[in-house]
Structure 1
Amino acid sequence: MASDHQASKQQAAGSKIVIFEQENFQGRCHELNATCHNLKEAGLEKVGSILVYSGPWVGYEQPNCKGEQFVFEKGEYPRWDAWTNSRRSDCVWAFRPVKVVSRMLWGLLGRRDGDSQDHKIVLYENPSFTGKKIEIIDDDVPSFYAHGYQEKVSSVRVQSGTWVGYQYPGYRGYQYLFEKGDYKDSADFGAQQPQIQSVRRIRDMQWHQRGAFHPAS
């Protein structure tokens, strides 16, 4: 029977992203199949456009996987505003593949569909998982307000799946990657302010041909 680690290794082995210096996939380029802590060491001076052949991936504003986060799924990103609308920075200097164990891979793990939810996340008002909370299971939520939750988000517990949270409704603003585990305060997920107002699931589009996320134009 395959393990979670083996399934993650199989997915990572198939991860592929190509970084171009110029917009619209022009200029020098560099292909990645694994974590890159500093694109400058690969000989690139800037990032103008990105092609994701298989993923997903997360990019970082600063080397060594620090700073603002940008989530990339399978598809084309011809210029910087295709992957962010936070307006704070157009720099991306580090990348790593995101581990996603999809429902289709459960067969490799010897699991039945009823063993657990595909995606489950709980977001809490206060640090250390206290205060009011909103629990989301196998769904994308473009607005917490529409679900009656108007509080800040200071801690997060991901029980299954991989998620991306956004500062504002409609999947806008700063992005925060949530992988399985506990985030006791907003600093743990890289937020300067405890503000998340929408969240969605991340899927490996190599396996999920339907349900791909398409950012609004």
Structure 2
Amino acid sequence: MNRVNSIRVESGAWVCFDHPDFRGQQFILEHGDYPDFLRWNGHNDHMASCRPVGMGMQHGENYRLEIFEGCNFTGQCLEFQDDCPCLPSQGWSKNCVNAIKVYGDGAWVLYEEPNYRGRMYLVERGDFRSFSDWEAHSARIQSLRRVVNFF
């Protein structure tokens, strides 16, 4: 089965992919109802694999994320502990992010467009030296938010 018309997430957060083996475009689904694919995808009704996000995450942990202008953690750096609907409004002068460090047991969703729109990418604890490390097609990131997990 790779076509899905509606989804109900009763607990936790899930990252879903439009290709098997956790590949392809990512969609992050949190607690709630998604009555049609436009609510969770916006492009089509394909879903071929999914997995829970951060099974060991604790709600209320000290989440922290650092973004870097250049690959390998070079150039301008900015730290976040809360959601950011528009990176330029926080002083980020570029329309791209080339490296990221995620601290704590949190997970973050990166969006290509401001206000949590466009392609999304999940990053969990660890170092991401290049946008290809989070399986993005480009370094374009304009907004980000924490995943609130209820496991």
Counterpart among 71, 89, 93 of residue 146 in structure 1: 89
**1:1-217 matches, cutoff 5 A:** 44-85=1-42, 87=43, 89-99=44-54, 100-103=56-59, 118-137=62-81, 139-151=82-94, 152-160=96-104, 161-205=106-150
Quote the Cα distance in structure 1 between the aligned partners of 2:119 and 2:16: 13
Quote the Cα distance in structure 1 between the aligned partners of 2:93 and 2:117: 16
Quote the Cα distance in structure 2 between the aligned partners of 1:168 and 1:199: 9
Report the CA distance between 1:45 and its aligned residue. Answer: 5.0
Q: Secondary structure in 1 aligned to 2:38?
A: helix
Report the CA distance between 1:103 and its aligned residue. Answer: 4.0
How many residue pairs end up in the alignment?
Answer: 148
- Give the conservation status (yes or no) of the 8 Å contact 2:2–2:46: no
- The runs of at least 4 consecutive aligned structure 1 residues that moved more than 2 Å come to none
Structure 2 residue runs of 5 or longer lacking an equivalent are: none
Quote the Cα distance in structure 2 between the aligned partners of 1:74 and 1:61: 20
- Give the conservation status (yes or no) of the 8 Å contact 2:4–2:47: yes
Report the CA distance between 1:148 and its aligned residue. Answer: 1.4
Quote the Cα distance in structure 2 between the aligned partners of 1:176 and 1:95: 14
* Letter in structure 2 aligned against 1:141: C
Residues 45 and 124 of structure 1: CA distance in aligned 2, closer, same or farther (over 3 Å): closer
Superposed CA deviations along residues 136-175 of structure 1, whole A, max 9, x for unmatched, are 02x1100001111021101111012111110010000000
Report the CA distance between 1:205 and its aligned residue. Answer: 3.3
Report the CA distance between 1:122 and its aligned residue. Answer: 0.4
More helix by share: 1
- Give the conservation status (yes or no) of the 8 Å contact 1:102–1:118: no
| Aligned residue number for residue 11 of structure 1 | none
Report the CA distance between 1:102 and its aligned residue. Answer: 1.8
Structure 1 residue runs of 5 or longer lacking an equivalent are: 1-43, 105-116, 207-217
Report the CA distance between 1:132 and its aligned residue. Answer: 0.9
Larger radius of gyration: 1
Quote the Cα distance in structure 1 between the aligned partners of 2:110 and 2:40: 14
- Give the conservation status (yes or no) of the 8 Å contact 1:84–1:173: no
Report the CA distance between 1:84 and its aligned residue. Answer: 2.8
Residues 156 and 140 of structure 1: CA distance in aligned 2, closer, same or farther (over 3 Å): same
* Letter in structure 2 aligned against 1:203: V
Identity of aligned residues (%): 35
Quote the Cα distance in structure 2 between the aligned partners of 1:129 and 1:141: 20
Quote the Cα distance in structure 2 between the aligned partners of 1:48 and 1:133: 40
| C-alpha RMSD of the superposition | 1.5
